[in-house]
Copies of this chain bind each other. A is one copy, B any other.
Amino acid sequence: MPVLSAGEGPLNRGQRSLIGGDQAVAVTIYDVAERAGVGIGTVSRVLNDSPQVREKTRQRVLAAIEEFNYRPSPIAQRLSLRKTLAIGVITPFFTRPSFVERLRGVEAVIAESEYDLIIYNVETVARRDICFQEVPTSHRVDGLIIISLSPGDEDVARWAEAGVPVILVDADHPLLTRVVTDDVAGGYKATRHLIELGHRKIAYISNPLDNPFGFTSSRYRYRGYRQALADFGLPFQPEYHQESDHSRAQTRAATERLLSLDDPPTAIFVASDTRAMGVLEALKARGLKVPDDVAVIGYDDIEVAEYLGLSTVHQPLYETGALGVELLLKQIDDPERSPMRVELPLELVVRQTTVG
């Protein structure tokens, strides 16, 4: 039974069926106002917990809301407030364990806020470029978290012009607030650990130092690795540095190359735990004992590392994501906030792949 009212004004808004047959028709603030016998301003005030509504009125409005099972339209709110109430996250390979763990931190904090979380997954350089171009300027999000992808100066300038707050997690740019760890120190810790165990022939397997995505962690960890070798007076052997992509297969191949050297290493530092699995696989295939024949240390401390008994460098993945969002929310509230760099600590985790 349609609820109609005579056209008594230039605009006849809010006059619609409440029982729309199959067609669900949204109840609006006008319906509620009419039902409660108040103006739409008052309904809006009730919705927004404004103190300046008399308790009696408030109850009437709440009753009408309840009766109609009214829910305000977030879209209309957003248009009116000129906020999208959404936060975007641009992350590469969002299904890989380390990124998932960062996302978990991001999600946890956003879930507690009034914002929605929109994920932009990046698996190709082209898609990264599109995301960098489009997402910040498309009025889709009030703020942006970017994980492990470092923007260029032009990107940052464009985003500043668009007025979109951007926080980097595990990436760097001097003009943006960022949550990072010290990858050089991480590489150093891992390498020093192996040296202190008596190893002298230590290999390093990582991403290509120059890679199309511009991931920097492998390069910085490489620096730490070199530094540790130097500090302890060990020579650097170029053939001890092997590159592989993320895949186990390629990492196996890289490990094979190391093992086939005339003077193979006795320890391998791998720039991620997932890759370390490829190393362990290769060693097993060759019948080599870990850590007796070859010691292995990974990086990240993803969940499976504990299961595998993998020594590694613990990164606060969850925390970086969570902190990134917290900083973003502050920045949204106060856009004038000057950029800061937050560094979270790393921790060496010693397990059975280095210490029998």
Determine whether A57 belongs to the interface, using a CB cutoff of 8 Å to chain B: no
Determine whether A74 belongs to the interface, using a CB cutoff of 8 Å to chain B: yes
- The interface-forming segment of A59-67, A97-105, A236-244 is A97-105
Q: How would residues 111 to 132 of chain A score, 1 for a CB under 8 Å from any chain B CB and 0 otherwise? A: 1000011110100000000000
Q: Looking across the interface, which residue of chain B has its beta carbon closest to that of A281?
A: B307
| A116 neighbours in B (Cβ, 8 Å) | 86, 118, 140
| A74 neighbours in B (Cβ, 8 Å) | 84, 138-140
Determine whether A163 belongs to the interface, using a CB cutoff of 8 Å to chain B: yes
Residues 57-115 of A at the B interface (beta carbon under 8 Å)? 69, 71-76, 78-79, 84, 86, 94-95, 97, 100-101, 103-104, 107, 111
A8 to chain B, nearest CB (A): 22
| A163 neighbours in B (Cβ, 8 Å) | 23-24
Contact of A107 among B69, B73, B119 (CB under 8 A): B119
Contact B307 A248 (CB under 8 A): yes
Residues 278-296 of A at the B interface (beta carbon under 8 Å)? 281
| A71 neighbours in B (Cβ, 8 Å) | 137-139
| A248 neighbours in B (Cβ, 8 Å) | 307
| A103 neighbours in B (Cβ, 8 Å) | 95
Determine whether A161 belongs to the interface, using a CB cutoff of 8 Å to chain B: yes
CA distance A23 to B161 in the complex (A): 8
CA distance A335 to B104 in the complex (A): 34
Determine whether A144 belongs to the interface, using a CB cutoff of 8 Å to chain B: no
CA distance A281 to B97 in the complex (A): 20
CA distance A68 to B162 in the complex (A): 12
Contact B75 A84 (CB under 8 A): yes
Contact of A111 among B72, B76, B121 (CB under 8 A): B121
Determine whether A277 belongs to the interface, using a CB cutoff of 8 Å to chain B: yes
| A139 neighbours in B (Cβ, 8 Å) | 26, 71-75
A164 to chain B, nearest CB (A): 8
CA distance A104 to B95 in the complex (A): 7
A306 to chain B, nearest CB (A): 8
Determine whether A157 belongs to the interface, using a CB cutoff of 8 Å to chain B: no
A-B contact pairs, 24 of them (CB 8 A): A24-B161, A26-B139, A69-B137, A71-B139, A73-B139, A74-B138, A74-B139, A75-B78, A75-B79, A75-B84, A75-B139, A94-B107, A95-B100, A95-B104, A107-B119, A107-B121, A111-B121, A116-B118, A117-B118, A117-B119, A118-B118, A119-B119, A248-B307, A281-B307
A residues sitting closer than 8 Å to B (CB atoms) are: 22-24, 26, 69, 71-76, 78-79, 84, 86, 94-95, 97, 100-101, 103-104, 107, 111, 116-119, 121, 137-140, 161-163, 248, 277, 281, 304, 307, 335-336
Q: Which 6 A-B pairs have the closest CB atoms?
A: A24-B163, A73-B139, A95-B104, A75-B78, A75-B79, A95-B100
A-B contacts besides A22-B336, A73-B139, A116-B140, 7 pairs, CB < 8 Å: A23-B163, A76-B79, A94-B107, A95-B103, A118-B118, A277-B304, A277-B307
